Amino acid sequence: MNKKHKIAVVGPIPKDHITTHKGLVVEKYGCITHPTIALSKLLKDSGYVYPIAHISQSHELPIHTIFSAYKNIVEEGVSSVHDQGTVIKLRFVDQNNRLEKQIAYMHPIIAEDMAVALDADVFVFVPITDFEVPLETLKYLKANSKGLIIFDAHGPTSTATTKGDRYRRFWIDRDLWLPYIDVLKMNIEEAGCCWFPKEIQPKDLEDDYIELSEKQRADFAEHVLSKGVKAVYITLDSRGCAIYTMKNGQMQQDFVPSVRVSEVIDTTGCGDSFAGGLAFGLLEDKTDYIKAAQYANALGAQRTQGTTFEVFKSLEETNEMIRKNYGDQSKV
């Protein structure tokens, strides 16, 4: 019998109050629910997904109701023991940008929370705020597990004020984290919070983040790779994603265009879904970064197509989606 795959998806399960860029109002449980369910559908009978999160006791039943519909989702790592979950209010001002307010905060995920999934093939970390996954948790995994660690920079580049307003922040201690990350994923705005001048100039304070040029993104990626990270993915909004890896001692740059969709309904959770696609694409071959990007783009595109989890497709449907978009370049 073939060994079944095991993927751990780590981060909050916020109760999201969303107003989309088209004025549609949606309430749902987000963040790790997106990659967890997407991966569940892709894996089907070939593996299990272990969501790991702290939630409020009042959220326990609705979250269990969501996950229990999928037989390969194991809820052992979802805990309400601290009665601390996450609540977020989001109002999109356009398709990609939103105003955020956080009104409840989950208990951080520490080493002992990872015990249920130490044998996972891949760990997908998708924190949304800077306190949710401490560095010590990644250090513990590196010392006690052989699983691939995918880390989303959204968490360490985001913070919340005492009034709940959410803002971008510089990831100042970035280099302390990099030795414990195998694949680093971020969007273009977060990249501008990860590669910063030694001294901030007045012109740099005019916008929410520093827009990196193509060369600056490459310089940043080369620095990250020099610290032991195996691959850097930077998503470029609807264009696709840039991939940076090392090959024979030289940095290699690749670009994978996005999966085309005719209409965007809701982009909440696209980045989380993208991270889940990376995990699935790297399950069999942990160096096939192009294939991983194709799955990541496909799951991100699926997420835009509605407000429910029905947007996520089976492996067969997802593979067909990839073939239609990438043709001969497809790795599936």
Cα gap 299→319, rounded to integer Å: 11
Residue-level pLDDT at 94: 85
Residue-level pLDDT at 1: 39
Residue-level pLDDT at 201: 67
Can you give the pTM of this predicted structure? 0.94
Residue-level pLDDT at 205: 62
Average pLDDT, the chain: 93
Residue-level pLDDT at 208: 65
Cα gap 57→48, rounded to integer Å: 25
Number of H helices, E strands in the chain: 9, 15
Q: Which runs of consecutive H residues, i.e. helices, occur in 112-203?
A: 135-144, 174-177, 188-191
Residues of the chain with pLDDT under 70: 1-2, 200-209, 329
Beta bridge partners of 148: 122
pLDDT in tens, 143-168: 999 999 999 999 999 999 999 999 99
Amino acid letter at 230? K
For the residues of 9-50, what is the DSSP string, one character each?
EES---EEEEE-TTS-EEEEE-TTHHHHHHHHHHHGGGEEEE
